[in-house]
Amino acid sequence: MKALILIVLTMAMAVLFMGCAGAATNDTADTMQGGAYHKITAQEAKQMMTDNPKVVILDVRTAGEYAEKHIPGARLVPNETIGNTPIEGLRTDDVILVYCRTGHRSKQASDKLVKMGYKNIYDFGGITTWPYDTEPGAYEGI
């Protein structure tokens, strides 16, 4: 009977430690980026836009994609142009909402921005899942 209790306790401890290890990995990933990167939903992004009209909406698609349709007020900075140099007109403490077409480039761009020292990056994926207003038109700069 003692052997059975010992086995059950050992298994319970193993499960507990594995759960803690998974949580530590997620915390470590967030800490590695300084807590600067946040993956959010389109709904959360829309709420942030409503609550704070000073957020920067960053479209990281191409100029052609932007011209077809974009989120009103979005600034175009194609992912391919983001390197190691800070983006003109963006402060490292700005709240920046990043999107692309499907979410792949927005993640890449977000990672580059965090690496450059931007502290409030919110990636909400792609415009293909954006259920709110969009508009056509070429980017005219900010």
Q: Are residues 89 and 28 in the same domain?
A: no
Please check whether residue 54 is in contact with residue 127, taking contact to mean a CB–CB distance below 8 angstroms. Answer: no
H or E element at residue 115: helix 104-115
Is the pLDDT reported for residue 18 higher than 50? no
Same domain? For 65 and 98 the reply is yes
pTM of the model: 0.76
The whole-number average pLDDT for the span 72-78 is 98
Across the range 126-135, mean pLDDT stands at 98
Q: Are 133 and 109 in contact (CB under 8 A)?
A: no
Residues 65, 25 share a domain: no
Of the two residues 30 and 125, the one the predictor is more confident about is 125
Tell me the C-alpha distance between 63 and 49, whole Å: 22
> CA quadruple 19, 122, 82, 89: dihedral positive or negative?
negative
Same domain, yes or no: 9 and 67: no
My answer on whether 71 and 92 are in the same domain is yes
CA 14, 17, 23: angle at the middle one, nearest 5?
Answer: 145
- Based on the structure, what is the number of domains in the chain? 2
Q: How many angstroms from the chain centroid is the CA of residue 21? A: 24
Q: pLDDT tens, 22-48?
A: 333 333 334 344 589 999 999 999 999
**Do 17 and 86 fall within a single domain?**
no
For residue 19, pLDDT over 60 is answered with no
Which of 82, 29, 41, 89 lies closest to 60, judged by CA? 82
The least confident of 30-34, 38-42, 77-81, 110-114 is 30-34
| Domain limits for position 13 | 1-32
Q: 18 and 60 in one domain?
A: no
What is the pLDDT confidence band of residue 1, given thresholds at 50, 70 and 90? low
Q: Is 139 a member of any domain?
A: no
Cα–Cα distance for residue pair 120/22, rounded to 1 Å: 25
